Structure 1
Amino acid sequence: MITFSEAQLMAWVSPILWPFLRVLALFSSAPLFSMRVIPMRTKIGLAFFVALCSQPMLGNQPIISLTGPDALGAVAQQVAVGIAIGFAVRLVFSSVELAGEIIGLQMGLNFASFFDPSSNARISAVARFFGNMSMLLFVVINGHLMVLLAVVKSFDSFPVDGNFLQSLSQMHLYELGSSLFSSALWIALPMVALLMFVNLTMGIISRVAPQMNIYAVGFPVTLTVGMLGIAATLPLLEQPVMTLMQRAIDLFANLR
C-alpha cells in the first residue's frame, strides 16, 4: 500500500498553493483581470495555470505546513501582495481617468456623466473615454504580461515566509498615491493650456464685440476645439502610461 506523509504532501502542494493564492488575489483587483464578465471559474483556472507554469522561475520556495502556526500569516501575505500589485496597476488607470476628468471640466462636458459599475461611482464621458483608451493601450503594450511577470518576480522581494507585517512595511504604495495627481495634471496639461487659450480668446472677442452672444458661441467652439485637441494629443498618451506602469511594477519587482 502506497502511503504519503504530511511532509511529502506539503512538499508537493506548497510550491503551487502560495503562488496560486497570490495570483488569484491579483486577479481580484487588477484591471482587465478583475472584470465581471470573466467567470470566476476561469479566473481560478488561469491563476492555477500561471502558478503551475511559474514553478521553474520561482526556484526553491520555503515549505509552510497548512496546519502550522505560519499558515495564516502566509495566506494573509499572499493576499496582501497580490491585491497590492493589482491596486498599484489600477492607480495608473486612475491617473489617466483623473486627467480625463480635468479635460472634461475644461470642455464643459462634466455634466455628461453616467454610473460606472466597475468603480461604483459616476464618471464623466471624457474620463471614461480616456479609461477605455488606457485599457486598450494596456493590452497593446503587453501590460497584462508585465503584471503577470511582476507577480512572479515579486517572490524575490516578498518570499513566502508568512511575515505579513514585514511585507506591508516594504510596500511603498504611498509613492504612487503622491504621484497620482501630478501625473494626471501632466497628462491633461496640453489640453488645459489649449482650452485656456480658447477661453481667453472668447473673452477678448466678447470685449471687442459685446453684441455677440458669447454664451451661444463659446460652448460649441470650446467643444469643437476640445475634440480636435483630444484627437491630436491622444497618441502622446502612450509614454506617460508606460512610465507609470513601469513605476508601479518596479515597486514589487525590478524588471529592468
Structure 2
Amino acid sequence: MEFLREEFLLTLLLSYFRVVSFFSLFPFFSSNYVPLNVRLYLSFAVSFIALSFFDIKTVSVNTFEEFILKALNEFLFGFTAGLILRFFIEALAIAGEIIALHTGLGFLQLFLPGQAPMSLFGAFFYLYGILLFLSVGGAEIVLLALSESFKKVPIGSFNLFFLNPEVFLEFFYESFKLGVKVSLPVLLSALILNLILAVVNRFIPQMNVFMVGLPLQVLVGLIVLLLSLPVITLVIVNHLYDFLKVFELFIKQLGLY
C-alpha cells in the first residue's frame, strides 16, 4: 500500500513536525483548554489529510543527519507561522492589562488552570479575542493556509534565513497598534478623570481625593468599557480580517524564495 511506503511515512512524520509546532502557538489550540492528546491527534490528522488529498511530493532521506535537518526546518516553519498568529492574541491580552491598570483593578489576578496569572481584563480580552477569532472563521482560514503551505513550501525546503525580518516587525507594529486602539477609550477616560480630580483637589483641598478617586476610577472605567465594547469589537474584527489576509499572503510568499 502507498501509505506504508517509506517515503510516505517519512514525509508524514516531517509534516507532523510542521503542524504540531504550529499548533503549539496557534490561538485556542495552544491553550490548556484543549488537552495535549487532542492536540497531538489533531496535528496527526491534519498532516495525514494534507498528504492524502493534496498533491504533495514525498521526501526521500538518505542519512539520519539529513532527516534531523529537515525535521528542524519543519519545526521552525510551524513555530514561525504560529508565532505570527500569537501576536494577535497577546496584543489583546496586553490591552486588557493596560485597561486593568488604569481602572484600578490591576491587583485582581486570575489563576486559570495551566495559564500564567493575569489580570481580570487581561483574561477577558484573551478569551474574547479567541472567541472572535473562532467566530469569524479564523481557524478554517489558517488551516487552509497551513495546507497551502505544503504546496508553496515543500517538505524540508524551508530556510529560516530567507525570511524578511521586516515582516515580523510589521506584524509586531500592527499588533501593538491594535492593543493601543482597544485600550484607548479607557486610557482617555482615566486621563480626563485624573485631570478633573486634580482640579477638584486644587479648589477643595479638604476633600480626600484618593478615597473618592479610586471607586470613581473603577466606575468610570467599567462604564466606558461597556459603552465602547461594540466599537472595540468592530476594531478587533476588522484588524483580524486584515491580519488573516496578510498571514495568507505571507504563507504564499514563502514559496517564492
- Scaled by the length of structure 1, what TM-score is found? 0.82
Aligned amino acid, residue 251 of structure 1: F
Cα distance, 1:40–1:109 mapped onto 2, change above 3 Å = closer
Mapped contact 1:27–1:34 kept (Cα < 8 A) = yes
CA distance in 2, matches of 1:218, 1:87: 40
Cα deviation code 1:176-203 (max 9, x no counterpart): 2344433311221222112212222222
CA distance in 2, matches of 1:143, 1:79: 22
% identical aligned pairs: 25
Cα distance, 1:217–1:31 mapped onto 2, change above 3 Å = same
Mapping 1:179-198, distance limit 5 Å: 179-198=174-193
Mapped contact 1:77–1:163 kept (Cα < 8 A) = yes
Match of 1:251 in 2: 250
Aligned-pair CA distance for 1:219: 1.4
Residue aligned with 1:226, SS: helix
Mapping 1:227-242, distance limit 5 Å: 227-235=222-230, 236-237=232-233, 238-242=237-241
CA distance in 1, matches of 2:248, 2:199: 47
Deviates more, 1:63-72 or 1:81-90: 63-72
Match of 1:86 in 2: 82
Q: Is 2:51 the partner of 1:52?
A: no
Aligned-pair CA distance for 1:218: 1.4
Q: Is 2:148 the partner of 1:153?
A: yes
Match of 1:105 in 2: 101
Mapped contact 1:14–1:64 kept (Cα < 8 A) = yes
Deviates more, 1:104-113 or 1:51-60: 51-60
CA distance in 1, matches of 2:189, 2:23: 39
CA distance in 2, matches of 1:119, 1:247: 29
Residue aligned with 2:5, SS: helix
Q: Which runs of 5+ in 2 are unaligned?
A: none
Mapped contact 1:92–1:245 kept (Cα < 8 A) = no
Q: Which runs of 5+ in 1 are unaligned?
A: none
Aligned-pair CA distance for 1:102: 1.5
- Scaled by the length of structure 2, what TM-score is found? 0.81
Mapping 1:175-214, distance limit 5 Å: 175-214=170-209
Match of 1:73 in 2: 69
Match of 1:41 in 2: 37
Cα distance, 1:195–1:54 mapped onto 2, change above 3 Å = same
Cα distance, 1:114–1:55 mapped onto 2, change above 3 Å = same
Aligned-pair CA distance for 1:248: 4.1
CA distance in 2, matches of 1:66, 1:35: 37
Aligned-pair CA distance for 1:98: 1.1
Deviates more, 1:174-183 or 1:190-199: 174-183
Equivalenced residues, count: 246
Residue aligned with 2:207, SS: coil
Cα deviation code 1:117-172 (max 9, x no counterpart): 6554x422111111111111122112222221221122244222x345x2343264
